[in-house]
A and B are shown apart, each in its own frame.
Chain A
Amino acid sequence: MTATTLESAVEEVARPVRPTPARIPMSRIVSVELRKSFDTRSGFWLMASIGILAVVATGATILFAPDDALTYGNFAAAVGFPMAIVLPMVAILSITSEWSQRTGLTSFTLVPHRGRVLAGKALVAVLVGVVSMLLAGLIGALGNVIGTSINGVDPTWNISALEFGYIILGNLLGMAVGFMLGVLIRNSPGAIVAYFVYSLVLPTVTTVLAETQEWFADKQPWVDFNYAQGPLFDGDISGQQWAQLGVTGLFWLVIPLSIGLWSVLRSEVK
Chain B
Amino acid sequence: MIKVESLTKQYAGFTAVDDVTFTARPGRVTGFLGPNGAGKSTTMRIMVGLTPASSGYAEVSGRRFADLPNPGLEVGVLLDASAQHAGRTGREILTIAQRTMGLPAGRVGEMLDRVSLTDDEADRRVRNYSLGMRQRLGIATALLGDPDVLILDEPANGLDPAGIRWMRDLLRGYADRGGTVLLSSHLLHEIEVIADDLVVIGQGRIVAQGTKAELLATAGTLVRTPDVHQLAQALTSAGVSFTPSAATGSQDALRVDADPGVVGRVALDAGVHLVELRAADGAGLEEMFLELTADTQRETLTEGAAA
Contacts and interface: CB of A to CB of B under 8 A. Distances in A.
B28 A10 contact: yes
Q: Which of B51, B86, B96, B100 has the most CB of A within 10 A?
A: B100
Given A10-B28, A268-B50, A270-B45, A106 B84 contact: yes
B71 A112 contact: yes
A111 B85 contact: no
A13 B176 contact: yes
A3 B23 contact: yes
Interface in B3-27: 21-23, 25-27
Contacts, number: 146
B291 interface: no
Interface string A145-182: 00000000000000000000000000000000000000
A193 interface: no
B66 A113 contact: yes
A1 interface: yes
Most chain B CB within a 10 A radius of its CB, from A6, A9, A14, A36: A6
Interface size class of B (residues with CB under 8 A): 35 or more
A161 to B, nearest CB: 36
Contacts of A105: 50, 79-80, 83
A23 B209 contact: no
**Chain A contact residues, majority secondary structure:** loop
B252 interface: no
Size bin of chain A's contact surface: 35 or more
B178 A14 contact: yes
A108 B51 CA distance: 11
B258 to A, nearest CB: 20
Given A6-B23, A15-B26, A29-B100, A268 B52 contact: yes
Contacts of A23: 69-70
A43 B215 CA distance: 52
A112 B47 CA distance: 11
B65 A112 contact: yes
B304 interface: no
A5 B212 CA distance: 12
Nearest to B97: A110
A28 B210 contact: no
B219 interface: no
B96 A35 contact: yes
Given A1-B210, A16-B178, A35-B95, 4 more contacts: A12-B26, A13-B177, A108-B49, A111-B100
Interface of B: 21-23, 25-28, 45, 48-52, 65-66, 68-74, 77, 79-80, 82-88, 92-93, 95-97, 99-102, 141, 148, 175-179, 197, 208-211, 213-215
14 contacts: A6-B23, A6-B197, A12-B25, A13-B27, A21-B73, A24-B70, A39-B96, A40-B85, A105-B80, A109-B50, A110-B100, A112-B66, A266-B52, A268-B52
